Amino acid sequence: MGSVLTRDVLVKWAPLLVLIVLILFFAAMEPRFFSVRNFARIGISSAPALMVAIGVTFIIIMGSIDLSMEGTVSVCAVVFAFAFIAMGGTLASFAWLALPLALLVGAAVGLLNGLVHVKLKIPSFMASLAMGFVGTGFALLLTGGDRIRVEDDLFRGLLTTRWFNFPIMCYVAVAFLLIAWFIQTRTTLGRNFYAVGGGEDLAHASGLNVNKVRILGFTLAGVFYAVGALLAVGRIGIAETATGSNFMFVSITSVVVGGTALWGGIGGVWNTLIGVLIVNVINNGMVVIGLPGYVQDGVLGVLVIAAVVLSTDRKSVTFVK
């Protein structure tokens, strides 16, 4: 019993301990790391990634996997930018309508993703990977490979306007994190995600409509991908086909490193927050102390393997559905 307790405690608290150790390590190596300006920099890079990672957290809690985020983010970013410019090009006009439009596009892509997975009985990783490619291709079709600039000062205020030295986009990310936490802990849908991830057969037997829960999960994930897309555009002022690139690696790495189990039923959005911060602290810290990019990727790879080994019970594991 003692060893099980120790293991559970280790799995629960290891990500937070890793984050603290990393911050102390980089601060010792380079004092500039431990500054409000640098923490704001980490916050800016973390905000879009956190939104995408929260979306995929809901899917992984169900014991599925979603690889469509790059295509979804790109489509949402491009549609938002075109609509924003067409409606006046500033939040002071009707262009604010492009914001909910982007969320609707994300929800629609997620819904389609879920329907393809559930109705055609295609494994989630294959269905979502295919949808991701479709999304990227559609974004390229819309833009023709061009970049669309969003130069409205009000919208760019997401990055340029600061409260207590942190840009508004960090506070937007925290607000959506709290919404996600509310969905996860206080709604029937959130509890159903855990029920499906904890055991699909048991969920079926208890009368739960598992297919409906899965479809709603993918739809919800799409909404969070869209929020990530909006923050990504706000961060650089440009929407393009490449807006979604690298989100797949960063988001799934963050979820796993944060302690959400790949086979479902364990973890949640706070784990994901810690995971996103670990990934971004490593990326930022290694730049600050002058290490090359391939070292960052190597360290993240080792962390992912360690996180999975630490959290996997070899006797009872079944791999992702």
Single-letter amino acid code for the residue at 128? S
Give the pLDDT confidence score for residue 200 in this predicted structure: 82
> Which three-class secondary structure state does DSSP give residue 260?
coil
Q: How confident is the model at residue 20 (pLDDT cuts 50, 70, 90)?
A: very high
Give the pLDDT confidence score for residue 1 in this predicted structure: 46
Single-letter amino acid code for the residue at 296? Q
Q: How far lies 25's CA from each of 125, 140, 319, in Å?
A: 36, 42, 35
Mean pLDDT score, 53-62: 97
Give percent of the chain with pLDDT exceeding 70: 94
In a domain, 223, yes or no: yes
**Beta carbons within 8 Å of 203's beta carbon, 6+ residues apart:** 192, 195, 196, 210, 213
Name which of 217, 259, 228 is nearest 114 in CA terms: 217
Q: How confident is the model at residue 203 (pLDDT cuts 50, 70, 90)?
A: confident
Mean pLDDT score, 230-245: 95
Give the pLDDT confidence score for residue 12 in this predicted structure: 78
Distance CA 244, CA 242 (A): 5
Q: Does 314 have pLDDT greater than 70?
A: no
Distance CA 90, CA 103 (A): 18
Q: Is 308 exposed, middle or buried (0-12, 13-18, 19+ CB in 10 A)?
A: middle
Choose between 157 and 200: higher pLDDT: 157
Residue 227 tokens read as 């929020």
State CA 225 to chain mean position distance: 7
> Which three-class secondary structure state does DSSP give residue 239?
strand
Mean pLDDT score, 25-40: 93
Q: Does 250 have pLDDT greater than 50?
A: yes
Give the pLDDT confidence score for residue 312 in this predicted structure: 62
In a domain, 266, yes or no: no
Q: Which residues pair with 166 in a beta bridge?
A: 163
- Each residue's pLDDT tens digit, 59-76: 999 999 999 999 999 999
In a domain, 198, yes or no: yes
Give the pLDDT confidence score for residue 201 in this predicted structure: 81
Q: How confident is the model at residue 311 (pLDDT cuts 50, 70, 90)?
A: low
Q: Does 196 have pLDDT greater than 80?
A: yes
Choose between 303 and 270: higher pLDDT: 270
Give percent of the chain with pLDDT exceeding 90: 74
Distance CA 145, CA 47 (A): 26
Q: Is the dihedral of CA 200, 201, 202, 204 positive or negative?
A: positive
Mean pLDDT score, 47-62: 97
Distance CA 277, CA 135 (A): 27
DSSP class of 149: E
207 conformational bin, left if phi > 0, alpha if psi -120 to 50, beta if neither: left
Q: How confident is the model at residue 4 (pLDDT cuts 50, 70, 90)?
A: low
In a domain, 70, yes or no: yes
In a domain, 316, yes or no: no
Q: Which domain holds residue 193?
A: 43-245
Q: How confident is the model at residue 6 (pLDDT cuts 50, 70, 90)?
A: low
Total domains present in the chain:
1
Q: Find the distance separating the first CA and the last CA of the chain, reported in whole Å.
A: 30
In a domain, 12, yes or no: no
Which phi and psi angles does 18 have, rounded to 5°? -60, -45
In a domain, 231, yes or no: yes
In a domain, 81, yes or no: yes
Mean pLDDT score, 112-117: 96
- Each residue's pLDDT tens digit, 275-302: 999 999 999 998 888 888 788 788 888 8
Distance CA 27, CA 8 (A): 29
Distance CA 57, CA 117 (A): 17
91-95, 215-219, 278-282, 313-317: which range is least confident on average?
Answer: 313-317
Mean pLDDT score, 173-201: 94
